[in-house]
């Protein structure tokens, strides 16, 4: 629409056509937009799910000699799947933030039931 000579929408003409890598606004929605708010809401929601996952690991796991709480993926899956079907995605997010540790890139139900997940 920015290149459309018949468009009378001034909002489109005032925005830059492209941002470039290195630009602080690159890959981000316009500040104050509904898209930005939806992103913030989603980030907050996932953060709460990660916190809940850590609480469930603490509640269902066992404290090891090193003081860390551990639980197997199979046990966690059976407990957590009744709460959320996104257990693997939430585990990956928790690992990204340094809250849990487990071996491997991805966990699969059945195949990885004996993989130990450690709450850090």
The CATH number given to whatever domain includes residue 62 is 1.10.10.1540
Asked if residue 14 is part of any domain, the answer here is no
Q: Is residue 25 part of a domain?
A: no
Give me the mean pLDDT over the 11-34 stretch: 75
Look at residue 18 and tell me if it is in a domain.
Answer: no
The structural domain count of the chain equals 1
Question: Does some domain include residue 15?
Answer: no
Domain contains 39? yes
For residue 82, tell me if it sits in a domain.
Answer: yes
**Confidence (pTM):** 0.67
Q: How would you write 44-92 as a 3-class SS string?
A: HHHHHHHHHHHHHHHHHCEECCCCCEEEEHHHHHHHHCCCCCCHHHHHH
Average pLDDT, the chain: 85
Query: In which domain, by residue range, is 43 found?
Result: 32-117
Tens digit of each residue's pLDDT (9 = 90 or more) over 45-85: 999 999 999 999 999 999 999 999 999 999 998 887 766 67
Asked, for residue 66, whether it belongs to a domain, the answer is yes
Q: For residue 68, is it within any domain?
A: yes
């Amino acid at each position: 629409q920015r290149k459309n000579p018949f468009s009378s929408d001034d909002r489109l003409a005032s925005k830059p056509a492209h941002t470039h890598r290195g630009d602080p606004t690159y890959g981000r929605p316009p500040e104050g937009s509904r898209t930005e708010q939806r992103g913030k809401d989603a980030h907050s929601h996932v953060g709460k799910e990660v916190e809940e996952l850590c609480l469930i690991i603490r509640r269902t796991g066992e404290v090891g000699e090193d003081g860390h709480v551990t639980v197997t993926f199979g046990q966690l899956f059976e407990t957590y799947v009744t709460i959320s079907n996104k257990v693997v995605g939430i585990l990956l997010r928790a690992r990204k933030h340094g809250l849990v540790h487990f071996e491997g890139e991805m966990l699969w139900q059945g195949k990885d039931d004996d993989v130990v997940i450690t709450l850090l």
